[in-house]
């Protein structure tokens, strides 16, 4: 196994927590053949950087802060034009006051910025080595690939931390508490209800629940819960409500407990609720990031394989045909080199938009690599295989017409074309990865043939 293959195997590991960063840095040391690798960002403390993860070979070292001034990392943020930076030798002479490189005995440094889809710098990855480094196309491309992947994982990590913070906030937040009698009338309410309904406690007490929530919400959501509670059931549930004066619906975590009088008769329900809208939104963001490409919003590789597995299971008992279309943007690297990575990102977004507009809601569209997309579609089976192949050929021609286009970005004309391969699934018991690789091979054959013609 080559260093690149071993590095990619490390990146393919199913970790999306702090362990991912350790594996990613180990992969970086493999590809660059450097001893040390790190992932750093600007610290909240002005003038300082923070190393979030640092790897000495395969051993992880705890995070630490350092002064930016006089460090090679400072140059990463000072140079707004470059994404990649290298000091191939004489590092200690260039930065004589930077303690870290002296203590390590490092003599060379290479780094890549990590940016999000808005172009905001999230941090950078870097390698250090006692020996001089030489920059290669292979290592530079791996730096960029890894920076993109770490950017996605770090964004997801931040959202997950926000989720924990929301949970802590909710545990200490003010509750909505009330007592509703068996005639569905509010008899006691907490101060929280004043904010919820924009009424004073005195105005709420004595009103029927339906008056405040409206008939549809009362009949479909609230009354069934109250009736169950009035029959003696303790209930814990979550519901969406939309009080009239509030712009957006809110999501509540609700507890219903029966209230008994001295004779043991149920007189009503004690209702306790938390507003967990932000928690729900944070969960949805985490789930979205786990299943979608952050740049284009399309399904990512993980989501593609999950959806494809489900589709194959369904299609094993169906007469429909499944086709895989593998799309690779031609000469995308030259677009990045000629116009810059930000223009390249816009091109990818436009390609995603064109594919989404052309395909149906039943198709699966995913971005699985830097400039690679996969489309999985189904269509009614025909008795003749040649007819099915003809349908796919027509679809490929349509896609090539759509994707062979000129885009005007920041006043510059960017010409785009694509190589497309397809595979008609004949064995629904095959692994999704195997089936997709067939389409990938067909795309490669088409690209070679197309290049020779050109």
User: What integer pLDDT is reported at residue 81 of this predicted model?
Assistant: 81
User: In terms of CATH, what superfamily is 176-279?
Assistant: PAS domain (3.30.450.20)
Tokens of 393: 């050929």
Q: What pLDDT does residue 373 have?
A: 94
Structure tokens at 50: 């923070």
Please tell me the predicted confidence (pLDDT) of residue 172.
37
Sheet holding 321-329, edge to edge: 364-367, 372-379, 321-329, 418-424
Could you report the per-residue pLDDT of 8-27, keeping only the tens digit for each? 555 555 445 567 787 888 88
Chosen CATH of 292-453 out of 3.40.50.880, 3.30.200.20, 3.40.50.410, 3.30.70.270: 3.30.70.270
Given a cut of 60, whether residue 163 has pLDDT beyond it is: no
Q: Is a pLDDT exceeding 50 seen at residue 170? A: no
Task: Choose from 18-22, 198-202, 206-210 the range with maximum mean pLDDT.
Answer: 206-210
pLDDT the model gives residue 451: 67
* Per-residue pLDDT tens over the stretch 405-416: 888 988 889 899
- Confidence band (pLDDT; 50, 70, 90) for 171? very low
Q: Map the chain to HEC letters.
A: CCHHHHHHHHHCCCCCCHHHHHHHHHHHHHHHCCCEEEEEEECCCCCEEEEEEEEECCEEECCEEEECCCCHHHHHHHCCCCCEEEECCCHHHHCCCCHHHHHHCCCEEEEEEEECCCCCEEEEEEEEECCCCCCCHHHHHHHHHHHHHHHHHHHHHHHHHHHHHHHHHHHCCCCEEEEEECCCEEEEECCHHHHHHCCCHHHHCCCEHHHHHCHHHHHHHHHHHHHHHHCCCCEEEEEEECCCCCCCCEEEEEEEEEEECCCCCEEEEEEEEEECHHHHHHHHHHHHHHHECCCCCCECHHHHHHHHHHHHHHHCCCCCEEEEEEEEECCHHHHHHHHCHHHHHHHHHHHHHHHHHHCCCCCEEEECCCCEEEEEEEECCCCCHHHHHHHHHHHHHHHHHHHCEEEEECCEEEEECEEEEEEECCCCCCCHHHHHHHHHHHHHHHHHHHHHHC
CA nearest 241: which of 196, 207, 200? 196
Extents of the domains making up the chain = 3-147, 176-279, 292-453
- Report yes or no: 95 and 101 within 8 Å, Cβ to Cβ: yes
pLDDT tens digits, 308-327 = 988 888 877 777 788 899 99
Between 169 and 23, name the one with better pLDDT: 23
pLDDT, tens digit (0-9, with 9 covering 90-100), for 385-399: 556 677 777 888 888
User: What is the DSSP pairing of strand 48-56 with strand 36-42?
Assistant: antiparallel
* Per-residue pLDDT at 68 exceeds 70: yes
Q: Residues near 278 by Cβ (< 8 Å), separated by ≥ 6?
A: 166, 169
Nearest Cα residue to 146 out of 302, 8, 42: 8
Q: How high is the pLDDT of residue 351? A: 92
Pair of tokens at residue 65: 């802060």
Q: What is the pLDDT of residue 60?
A: 66
Band the pLDDT of 400: cuts 50, 70, 90. confident
pLDDT of 289: 81
Confidence of residue 156 (pLDDT cuts 50, 70, 90): confident
**For residue 164, what pLDDT band results from cuts at 50, 70 and 90?**
low
Q: Percent of the chain, pLDDT > 90? A: 26
pLDDT value at residue 167: 42
**Residue 130: pLDDT over 90:** yes
Q: Do domains 3-147 and 176-279 have the same CATH topology?
A: yes
Averaged pLDDT for residues 271-275: 86
CA–CA separation, 15 vs 346, rounded Å?
29
| Superfamily for the 3-147 domain | GAF domain (3.30.450.40)
Query: Is the model's pLDDT at 153 over the cut of 90?
Result: no
How far is residue 295's CA from residue 433's CA, in Å, rounded to a whole number? Answer: 23
Residue 131 confidence (pLDDT): 93
Beta pairing partners, 364: 376
The residues with which 238 forms a beta bridge, in sequence order, are 253
Q: Which of 12-26, 67-81, 138-152 has the lowest mean pLDDT?
A: 12-26
Taking only the tens place, the pLDDT of each residue in 299-310 is 998 899 999 988
Mean pLDDT of 420-438: 87
pLDDT band at residue 173 using 50, 70 and 90 as cut-offs: very low
**Cα dihedral 136→141→145→146 (10° resolution):** 10
CA 306 vs CA 20, 289, 371, 375: distances in Å: 21, 15, 21, 14
| Whole-number pLDDT of residue 427 | 83
Identify whether the C-beta of residue 270 lies closer than 8 Å to the C-beta of residue 226.
Answer: no
Mean pLDDT over 207-211 rounds to 94
Q: What percent of the chain has pLDDT over 70?
A: 88
CA distance linking residue 216 with residue 242, whole number of Å: 11
Q: Which of 94, 98, 76 is nearest to 85 (CA)?
A: 76
pLDDT at 94: 92
Tell me what pLDDT residue 57 has.
66
Mean of the per-residue pLDDT values of the chain: 83
């Amino acid at each position: 196994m080559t260093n690149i293959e071993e590095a990619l195997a490390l990146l393919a590991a199913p970790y999306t927590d702090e362990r991912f960063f350790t594996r990613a840095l180990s992969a970086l040391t493999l590809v660059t053949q450097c001893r040390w690798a790190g992932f750093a960002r600007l610290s909240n403390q002005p003038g300082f950087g923070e190393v979030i993860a640092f790897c000495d070979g395969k051993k992880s070292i705890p995070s630490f802060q350092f002064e930016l001034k006089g460090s090679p990392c400072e140059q990463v943020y000072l140079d707004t034009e470059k994404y990649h930076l290298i000091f191939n030798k004489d590092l200690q002479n260039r930065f004589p006051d930077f303690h870290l490189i002296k203590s390590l005995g490092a003599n060379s440094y290479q780094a890549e910025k990590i940016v999000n889809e808005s172009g905001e710098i999230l941090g950078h990855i870097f390698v250090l080595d006692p020996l001089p480094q030489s920059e290669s196309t292979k290592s530079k491309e791996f730096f960029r690939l890894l920076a993109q992947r770490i950017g996605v994982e770090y964004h997801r990590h931040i959202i997950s931390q926000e989720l924990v913070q929301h949970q802590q906030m909710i545990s200490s937040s003010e509750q909505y508490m009330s007592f509703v009698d068996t005639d569905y009338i509010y008899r006691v309410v907490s101060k929280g209800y004043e904010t919820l309904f924009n009424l004073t406690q005195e105005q709420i007490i004595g009103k029927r629940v339906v008056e405040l929530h409206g008939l549809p919400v009362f009949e479909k959501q609230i009354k069934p819960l109250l009736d169950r509670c009035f029959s003696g059931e303790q209930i814990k549930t979550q519901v969406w409500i939309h009080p009239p004066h509030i712009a957006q619906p809110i999501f509540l975590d609700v507890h219903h407990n029966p209230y008994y009088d001295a004779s043991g008769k149920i007189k009503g329900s004690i209702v306790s609720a938390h507003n967990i809208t932000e928690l729900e939104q944070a969960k949805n963001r985490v789930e979205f990031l786990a299943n979608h490409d952050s740049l284009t919003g399309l399904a990512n590789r993980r989501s593609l394989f999950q959806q494809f597995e489900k589709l194959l299971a369904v299609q094993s008992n169906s007469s429909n045909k499944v086709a895989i279309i593998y799309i690779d943007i031609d000469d995308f690297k030259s677009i990045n080199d000629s116009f810059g990575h930000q223009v390249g990102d816009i091109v990818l977004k436009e390609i995603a938009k064109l594919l989404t507009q052309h395909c149906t809601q039943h198709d699966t569209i995913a971005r699985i690599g830097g400039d690679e997309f996969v489309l999985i579609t189904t269509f009614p089976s025909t008795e003749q295989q040649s007819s099915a192949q003809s349908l796919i050929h027509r679809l490929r021609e349509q896609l090539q017409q759509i994707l062979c286009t000129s885009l005007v970005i920041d006043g510059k004309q960017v010409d785009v074309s694509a190589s497309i391969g397809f595979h008609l699934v004949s064995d629904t018991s095959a692994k999704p990865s195997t089936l997709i690789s067939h389409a990938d091979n067909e795309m490669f054959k088409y690209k070679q043939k197309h290049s020779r013609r050109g």
